[in-house]
Structure 1
Amino acid sequence: MLVPVIDISALYEDDANGWRLVEEKLYEAHSTVGFSILTGHGVPARMMDDLFAASARFYALPLEQKLAYRYGAHLRGYLPLNTSTLTRSTLGSARKPNYSESFIVLNELDESLCDQWSRSAMGGHQVWPLDPKEFEIAVRRYRAAMTRVGQAMVRCFACMLGLPRDGLDPYFETPNPILRLLHYPPLPDREANQFGSAPHTDYGCLSFIAQDDVGGLQVKAADNSWFDVPAIPHALVLNTGQVMEAWSGGVLKATPHRVINHPEKSRYSVGFFYDCGLNTRVMPIASMTDAMCACKPQPKTYGEHLETLLRANYSFAD
């Protein structure tokens, strides 16, 4: 299997040897393929099933009901079909919008960040559908569980970068997690340049994807071919994003991937993007201690990096 399956349960235990083995396997996976499939992550299967059920019920609503929660000046709420186009991507501009609809959930901005970021794509306040009534609670439960997974994985990745376990903790003191519920409708007559999600690399640190059994997630291999990521029930697909790649000086890979719609079936997935604080500098980790040196050029922050890409790829209301 090109994407290795890794049991990460040792990250939650007092087991130094188990931890080291998980670290070694993750390092091998993310310095080569850039992807892994996680089991033993601790998120209850029933919790995942409940979230997928709530997501499917929301997307089954009439369009006019879903549009009541459409995103506007901030990237929160419902994104209808064909409303995102990857015009700014590491792989160039997509020719067509993504044939998918999604619902995005962001944390409320910390008070210390409001003055600087309230007018950004990450500002505003979260909207929640009233139907289905279990939607909000299912999302909140899953987000809390995935935050614990993200915290454990950040500590493991810190070790992979040659830092102590808590070496990345300051950059996640006020994290910026993004949860995205996705629906990829069937596309029986797909054109060659039409995707549910066009080829891209993720913007941030760590991306966790829960997916159903329909398939369609593909990763770009070193020879430029594309291969399928297998769907394992209740496992999480992990890939490293652009910020983690930058922190590692390119050692950990932000690998291009895409989603192809099934010709007959809807595909559902849930992305949880566990990212660092908006004011964290995006630069190789070995240079981070030099970030305050006035004689060095100051790199952009994660928030500036994210804002630039979101504004380019989504149409926000004035």
Structure 2
Amino acid sequence: MLVPVIDISALFEDDPEGWEVVEDKLYEAHTTVGFSILTGHGIPPRMMNDVFAASARFYALPLEQKLAYRYGANLRGYLPLNTSTLIRSTLGSARKPNHSESFIVLDELDEGLREQWARSAVGGHQVWPRDAKFEIAVRRYRAAMSRVAHAVVRCFSCMLGLQHDGLDRYFARPNPILRLLHYPALPNREADQFGSAPHTDYGCFTFIAQDNVGGLQIKAADGSWFDVPTIEHALVLNTGQIMEAWSDGLFTATPHRVLNHREQSRYSIGFFYDCELNTRVMPLTSMPEPRCDCTPQPKTYGEHLETMLRANYSFTN
């Protein structure tokens, strides 16, 4: 079982034939494997390198300095090592916390959503390390990744039989989450210990930039696990639970995990590009017009996300 490598450069060009080729390849990948590796995405290598460098600088700080940016009532900032456990997962509860640390960056909520979601995991305001280069590198990367994600959303819209802009209304106020991850070396890893325990992603699309250490694995239909190749400056794309629900199971949310290397630290940059918080989670064929800023009904993306985050992280006031 292989993860296909797909050049998506045609999505950014006036190239209808090239677009169809990319669409066909992404369709095949995400209705079978649920993962693909994207090249030709247009993110400058230096921009990606700057984020990796900023991440490495942050994680090299003494723990007491990193704890100054620890998340509290909202999931923004630093998550220390071994503080997240996948208690609620589609694959069952993990026995041990993830042997990883991360720094989470969220958008400031749109004014129309701020009051409604203020006390949620995605509410509050972003904290930033004192390293000015960190914020600059992260903001630039997030802006560039949003452009890539928008193009991919439009391609998936066509795969669902909609117009190019058929999904745009659900991403008018997207919920992008950027997560800088560090997986320390684990020389004596136990069988039930992971950098990230087996899971499927909660949202729509996940884009992962990874270093060359490896460790990301996908679960095959027969229950075996296989490695996702590392390609410098490429992006690993996988579809999450919302896309699976929207497509009525057409696009798969594939189980995956991360194993810590025995000798080397692993760094990755996760960019989760998700729909507006009040979007209903149901097959698109039965979705109404996107809802306004009124009180959400059950099974909105925001409620789904809140449930999963509250189950797996310990928030403080």
Give the shorter-chain TM-score range: over 0.9
CA distance in structure 2 between the aligned counterparts of 1:191 and 1:289, rounded to whole angstroms: 48
1:187-235, Cα deviation, whole Å (9 max, x unpaired): 0000000000000000000000000000000000011000000000000
2:159 — aligned with what? Answer: 160
Deviation string, structure 1 residues 150-192 (Cα, Å, up to 9, x no partner): 1000000001111101000000000000000000000000000
Task: Describe the SS at the equivalent of 1:158.
Answer: helix
8 A contact 1:283–1:299 mirrored in 2: no
Task: Read off the aligned partner of 2:138 and give its amino acid letter.
Answer: V
Separation in 2 of the partners of 1:179 and 1:12?
Answer: 22
What corresponds to 1:113 in structure 2?
113
Structure 1 match to 2:101: 101
Q: Give yes or no for contact 2:279–2:290 (8 Å, CA) kept in 1.
A: no
Question: Which residue number corresponds to residue 77 of structure 2?
Answer: 77
Q: Distance in 2 between matches of 1:81 and 1:159?
A: 41
Percent identity, aligned pairs only, is: 80
Q: CA RMSD in A?
A: 1.1
- Structure 1: unaligned runs, 5 residues or longer: 293-297
Cα pair 2:7 2:40 within 8 Å, conserved = yes
In 2, Cα distance between the equivalents of 1:123 and 1:225? 38
Task: Tell me how far 1:290 sits from its aligned partner.
Answer: 8.2
Look up the SS of the partner of 1:68 in the other structure: helix
Structure 1 equivalent of residue 262 of structure 2:
263
Residue type of the partner of 2:235?
L
Superimposed CA distance per residue, residues 46-87 of structure 1 (whole angstroms, 9 cap, x where no aligned partner): 000111011001100000000000000000000000110000
Partner of 2:59: 59
CA–CA distance in 2 between the matches of 1:192 and 1:212?
24
1:147-226 alignment, distance < 5 Å:
147-226=146-225
**TM-superposition CA deviations, 1:103-138 (whole Å, max 9, x none):** 00000010000121011000000000003x310000
Q: CA deviation at 1:289?
A: 3.3
* Whole-angstrom CA distance in 2 between matches of 1:27 and 1:235: 19
Q: Partner letter of residue 84 of structure 1?
A: S
User: What is the SS of the residue equivalent to 2:116?
Assistant: helix
Amino acid at match of 1:41: H
3-state SS in 1 of match to 2:206: strand
2:239 partner amino acid: T
Gaps of 5+ in 2: 292-296
| Shift, 1:299, TM fit | 4.8
